[in-house]
Amino acid sequence: MTLNKLSVACCAVQQTARYVAARSYATASTSSFKAKDVEITRTKSPAAKPDVSKLKFGHHFSDHMLEVDWSESKGWEKPRICPMKNFQIHPAAKCLHYAVELFEGMKAFRGVDNRIRLFRPMENMKRMLTSAERSALPTFEGRELVELIKKLISIDVDWVPKASKEQPSSLYVRPTYIATEPTLGVAISTTAKLFVIIGPVGPYYATGLAPVKLLADPQYVRSWPGGSGGFKMGCNYAPTLYTQTKAASHGCQQVLWLFGDDHQLTEVGAMNLFTFWVNEHGGQELQLTMAEYFF
């Protein structure tokens, strides 16, 4: 068994340069929405907050959300922070048929000093922009989105839970970007929606922070050279659900994804993977395995 060599978290940055701009909408794609233009509508009916001791992952959402619409004709519109609501989506929207969608996952933590901290949000922005280019969606200025996320969190600051050793929790931040053009051709979308929803979360696994069991079966392959496994696109997740049911039937919480005849370790389910082992010379080694950018 071999291990992929160590990849660093900032490889998204280094790889961006390899991309040729995917779209020709030079005017629209080189511009960006601005945080200072945000229009804020506050809810008149704030929701009750969930019991922190019973938080699951991704089941609760705060009172407000952020959305920014883009179209080829108008470029980026003004960002809006508004009460959490359902979207009106046309049944032919490209995100519902061809999975033209991508996301990020970030967390905001309430410290013992009661201040709120985001963990290196610009790294998420860099990856998000790389995913956008790979999805042929227009880019934007990452720091503008970070400013908007900070504004959104400040409005819903009471939703950031107070964590403790016994009850680990945080505010999960989910920037999402979907193609909305209501036509059925497999083609670049001329309209899109960027949005951010936030909500308090407990540990991702129902087992809490206890170790998880992994299914390693070489017949299921999640990412491959020339594919999109190195990007945070929705398309990389749908095919994993079936495999997850196989894992569950073996009493495993997640899948250890393998690749190639020598069963290279590529990824574990929804996270990166640290491997600690004693090598052939008796030395101890620790390595991080994560999806690499294949092209």
Judged by the rule CB under 8 A, the positions of this chain that interact with a second copy are 20, 22-23, 56-59, 61, 65, 84-92, 95-101, 103, 133-136, 172, 174, 176, 178, 183-188, 195, 197, 204, 218-222, 224-228, 233-242, 244-246, 249, 269-270, 295
Sheet containing 254-259: give its strands across.
214-215, 254-259, 264-268
Residue closer to a second copy, measured from CB, 178 or 291: 178
Tokens of 85: 């609501």
For 261, other C-beta atoms within 10 Å of its C-beta total 7
Residue closer to a second copy, measured from CB, 126 or 232: 232
Q: Are 82 and 71 in contact (CB under 8 A)?
A: no
Q: Are 122 and 146 in contact (CB under 8 A)?
A: yes
- State how far the Cα of 56 lies from the Cα of 45, in Å rounded to an integer: 23
Torsion of CA 182, 185, 189, 194, to 10 degrees: 50
Residue closer to a second copy, measured from CB, 151 or 246: 246
Residue closer to a second copy, measured from CB, 40 or 206: 206
Q: Are 256 and 273 in contact (CB under 8 A)?
A: yes
Q: Are 92 and 98 in contact (CB under 8 A)?
A: no
Residue closer to a second copy, measured from CB, 146 or 201: 201
